[in-house]
Amino acid sequence: MQTATIAFDRFNQLHDDACHERIRAARARLGEQAVLLGHHYQRADVYQYADLTGDSLKLSRLASQADAEYIVFCGVHFMAEVADIMSKPHQKAILPDLAAGCSMADMANLAKVERCWRELNEVLDAEEVFTPVTYINSAADLKAFCGEHGGIVCTSSNAATIAEWAFAQRPKILFFPDQHLGRWTGYTMGIPLDEMMVWDPDLELGGLTVEQIHKARLLLWKGHCSVHQMFQPAHILKFRNQHPDGLVIAHPECSFEVCKQSDYVGSTEHIVKTIKEAAPNTRWLVGTELNLVNRLAEEVKPEGKIVHFMSPTVCMCSTMQRIDPQHLAWTLENLAAGKVVNQISVPQHEAGLARLALERMLAVS
């Protein structure tokens, strides 16, 4: 028999040390019933408990392969949706704090994307001309939209591979919600900047002329990551002036100008791999989320490598920060008591279409 839900109020004022004790005790009671997935951007006091870690692509694969009854996602809402979509019917995806969202994902919603599609149909036959591609940092209904319209999902790890697939289907791409990842991907594929247009969903025809829509090979949704927009070319210039032998690596969610001035550009997995495999005693400037950079700096310090955070301003994924020891302890104690809390459940029809787009991605990448 299930017990009553343990109220979060009992945990909200708990000291972190007490939370950690209760997390360890609840995990021991759960055993293999639960698996914890942790994104690279997760705060250190929660990340330490993750059984499996990685970027969005890796975690998508891991979610589809997990055997545990409970998939506890220490990340943000869209990641837990992916876990629910890709997991087995008996499994339950759980997000310790339902307020852990993604500001970028919120910049594109289904109503606006469908209106964009209708407006494109007034200019061209969208179904024949555009392949819709959504970044994994998006809601499940946008993944379902792509599944329904012959589109696909991408991550920062596989964006170029996915774009090649998309262009093989149709001559143009509608890419949402992150314009910067889309632009950098197009640039690395040799697409001229004047053939990549920004679609502003709050303006008629995205603020574009009919001629611009005809010319564009890649339509970029007007969206961005609030963390990665903090990094500026001036930060790179200052670093290079102070450390001429230093190396710069940035995430493709950074602006085009930052990516252009970096020595390396890639996903979080790429950033971690590149720096870990670099020669000892090298110095790096890194343009991505602070928790990852701090963790990486500590891991490579014994090799004499020095890792700098690109921005002088502290900027981290504030919504992912909501997954704290208090929420994790509350979640695990409820599960250990037989009560499921904060389950993420994507409607069946929507999940089926979204799974189609995700499975296309996994097959292609």
**Binding region for iminosuccinate:** 39, 56, 135-137, 156, 251-253, 268
Torsion of CA 113, 199, 99, 145, to 10 degrees: 20
Sign of CA dihedral 140, 57, 29, 18: negative
Distances (CA, A) of 62 to 80, 101, 309: 12, 21, 29
Cβ–Cβ < 8 Å for 343, 139: no
Two tokens at 286? Answer: 């890194």
Tally Cβ neighbours within 10 Å of residue 349.
Answer: 10
Cα 50–chain centre separation: 17
Residue with structure tokens 């307020």? Answer: 99
Beta bridge partners of 154: 135
Measured between alpha carbons, how far is 133 from 93 in angstroms, rounded to an integer? 25
Instruction: Report the length, in residues, of the chain.
Output: 365
Q: Which residues are annotated as a binding site for [4Fe-4S] cluster?
A: 102, 225, 317
Phi, psi for residue 121 in degrees, rounded to 5: -65, -20
The radius of gyration of the chain from alpha carbons, rounded to an integer in Å, stands at 21
170 within 8 A of 131, measured Cβ to Cβ: yes
Backbone angles phi, psi at 164, to 5 degrees: -60, -45
Known binding residues are: 39, 56, 102, 135-137, 156, 225, 251-253, 268, 317
Q: Using alpha carbons only, what angle is made at residue 283 by residues 278 and 288, rounded to the nearest 5 degrees?
A: 85
- What DSSP line would sit under 312-361, residue for residue? SS----TTGGG--HHHHHHHHHHHHTT---SEE---HHHHHHHHHHHHHH
